Each structure stands twice: as structure tokens, then as C-alpha cells.
Amino acid sequence: MAETREEETVSAEASGFSDLSDSEFLDLEDTQESSTSPNKPGPSSELPGKDGKLISLPKWKRGLDVSSPMERFHLKYLYVTDLSTQNWCEQQMVYGKELPGFLTPEKSAVLDTGASIHLARELEVHDLVTVPITSKEDAWAVKFLNILSMIPTLQSEGRIREFPVFGEVEGVLLVGVIDELHYTARGELELAELKTRRRPVLPPDAQKKKDCFQVSLYKYIFDAMVQGKVTTASLIHHTNLRPEKPLGPSVLRHARQGGFSVKSLGDLMELVFLSLTLSDLPVIDILKIEYIHQETATVLGTEIVAFEETEVRNKVQHYMAYWVGHREPQGVDVEEAWKCRTCNYADICEWRKSGGLPNSMLEPQAKKAK
DNA sequence: ATTGCTTAAGGG
């Protein structure tokens, strides 16, 4: 809320959809030319050299090894849900990055239903306003404007939804959106995460664990933000945002309508930092997850998550070790092989093939002809 | 710009 009224432009997502065209020119990046020496990229990474074939491949050199997954996937930051998906199955998450947009119709129908339930709840607390953007600076500016309007709303009205969070964690920038924040009757700041379910039953422990990890990450990042631990310098460093690049006219207009006189993204970032740290925002006291049935909206159960800081940090360290190229991805343990049953990548999964789990499990009817 | 770039979450 606290957005400009004007609700005819509420088309929300609208266009973002088929435009991941991304013409991917083979980026012929020859980094190894005379760059003196103090630069040591890979961790003892040697040439793959499957048969002693050394250099002499000037173009597609970037394809194999020597680059971290962050670089290979051309990522500057990760989503919180990337890490919670990674918690479910790291190998599956990797396939999801390699082969994006690979969902069965049934699965995406469930996701769509969940998304619209979330949208309906969001609309209960504020209108949506479409702000046309043309650059990533614009996109971040809108995010910042949302933060600037939501903080006072939380403090005065006690409830906000879809609050953006971001912060460097273990060397990687993590970006996410908190479903809901509100103050309880006892004055505690509570994060409420809604999970909708196709069938009217509580999820298995593995999924609860993933969801607990997700909300724990939100608290981890949010707390760092209000404690001034998330700096604009860090954000700029990870995103390559240009603080002085002129903002688009619609963004500037939106800012003015919101009562913010800013001329650049840098101004906005400073305002956000000040607002976060000087608004008397507490750290999050309670983490709550509510599971409801999609069709009937019946509450299936509520989880109160005990925040274990060191445990969260250890997990994040482990997950980030993959992202920065310190270790290979791994699939699930044998006892969680049941997850493969609903995985879109099960039949191409190298983890399954290479004995991550005995291929004797499941698929009794998969007679190996030939 | 001898090289760029991203709405996050959606559920299992």
C-alpha cells in the first residue's frame, strides 16, 4: 500500500514472460592475456585436459571448469528461493538453472494457483501500480521506492506484504521478498509465510525443512539490513549498478508521487539505508509458516520456526561453496530418493546414474531393454 | 564499455 492509488494500470506482471530470448553471443572473453600475475582465479584449477589437449581453443574457452557456477550461469546474485530449492535437491536446482522453464502443465497449474492466492492476499493490503522501466537501475529504484513506502506503513499500520530484502551472504548477494511482516498483539515483529497446497495435507518433513530454511534466510537478511550490515557499496559491487545513471521518467514521476525527491539511484540507496537503520525497526522475533489448502483455504497447519543462526550460516556456507565453484553439486541421499519421483530431470540426472543412489530403487517397471 | 544482461516466488 502506500502506493499511488490509480489502479487502472494494475496489470502487474503482464509482459515479462517470453522475453528470455537472450541472444547469448558466445562471449569470447579472453581473460588470460597478459594480465600480469597477481590474479589467481580458480582454486588450483588445472586444465581439464582429458587427453593432454592444451590451449588452442580461443573461443568457447569459457565453457568448462575454471569458472564458478555463478559465472557459468551469468549470475550476479541468487534468489532466496534458489537456496531453498537447493535445500530440496541441489542437483535438481542446477538442472533448473541449465534448462529453465521446464515444468509439467500440472505442476505449473499448481504454482499458478498458489501465485494468484498470494496476489489476492497482497491486494488486500495495497494496490499495485505498474511502473514502466527500461534499465536495471530503474528496476532497483522501484524496489527501493517500495521499501521506502513500506517501512513507515509497517510502523504505523502494523502490516506489510511482499517486502524486498537483499544482502551479501558468504560472499554472494542474496535477493528475496518476504511474504508478510506484521506486529503481533504483544508487539513482536512476526514474519508470516504462506504456503498453499494442492492437497489438503501437511507436507512431509523434507518440505517443511526447506520452508523453514527459506524463512530463516529472510530473517538472516532482514536483520542484517536493519542493523546496517547491508551497505550500498556491497550492493553496487555485486550488481554493477550505476548510481549516477539517470532514472527513467516514469520512475522519477513515481518517486515524486511517493513524496521522495531523488535524482539518482545513489540518492535512493542512501535514503533506503537511512530508513532501514533509523526507523526503529526491530529484528524479526517470530518466524511463522502457514500451510493452507488451495481449493478450500482450510488451514492445514502452522509452523513456528526456531531460528538457529549458526545452523543457518553453516548451511549457507555449504550451499555457497557450490556457487563459487569450491565443490561439485550433489543430489539427494538414498533415503530421499523419493524426491526423484516428481522430478522433471530424473531421467537425465547424472547423480542418479553415477551411483548417487542405487538405480535399483523405484521404477520397477523400467525394464532395461537393450 | 575490446563485452553487457535477472521481478521472486510459485509447490513437491
What is the DSSP code string of A295-338?
Answer: TT--EEEEEEEPP-HHHHHHHHHHHHHHHTTSS------GGGGG
CA of A300 to C1' of B5 (A): 41
Q: Which nucleotide is nearest to A162 (CA to C1')?
A: B8
Position A175 scores a pLDDT of: 98
A146 CB neighbours strand B below 7 A: no
Q: Which nucleotide is nearest to A101 (CA to C1')?
A: B10
Q: In one letter, which amino acid is A2?
A: A
Cell 530424473, residue located: A346
Cell 538442472, residue located: A95
Q: Which nucleotide is nearest to A28 (CA to C1')?
A: B3
Chain B: bases < 7 Å from a protein Cβ: 1, 3-12
Burial code (b: 16+ CB inside 10 Å, e: under 16) for A212-232 equals bbbbbbbbbbbbbbbeeebeb
Residue whose CA lies closest to nucleotide B2 C1'? A29
Does A207 score more than 80 pLDDT?
yes
How sure is the predictor about A52, in pLDDT bands with cuts at 50, 70 and 90? very low
Q: Write out pLDDT tens, residues A265-283.
A: 999 999 999 999 999 999 9
Give Rg (Cα) of chain A. 23
A331 CB neighbours strand B below 7 A: no
Residue whose CA lies closest to nucleotide B12 C1'? A342
Q: Write out pLDDT tens, residues A217-234.
A: 999 999 999 999 999 999
Query: Strand B within 7 Å of which CB atoms in A 99-118?
Result: 103, 107-108, 110-111, 113-115, 117-118
* Region A294-310 average pLDDT: 94
For the beta carbon of residue A90, count every other beta carbon within 10 angstroms: 21
Say what percent of chain A tops pLDDT 90: 65
Q: How far apart are CA A203 and CA A181, in angstroms?
A: 23
A245 CB neighbours strand B below 7 A: no
A237 CB neighbours strand B below 7 A: no
Q: Write out pLDDT tens, residues A78-112.
A: 999 999 999 999 999 999 999 887 788 888 888 88
Position A307 scores a pLDDT of: 97
A97 CB neighbours strand B below 7 A: no
| A189 or A8, higher pLDDT | A189
Q: What are phi and psi of A10, to 5 degrees?
A: -75, 40
Position A1 scores a pLDDT of: 35
A263 CB neighbours strand B below 7 A: no
Residue A215 is inside which H or E element, if any?
A: helix A205-226
Q: How far apart are CA A230 and CA A165, in angstroms?
A: 10
Task: Note whether A260 and A148 are within 8 A (CB).
Answer: yes
Q: What are phi and psi of A116, to 5 degrees?
A: -75, -30
Query: Strand B within 7 Å of which CB atoms in A 287-316?
Result: none
Say what percent of chain A tops pLDDT 70: 78
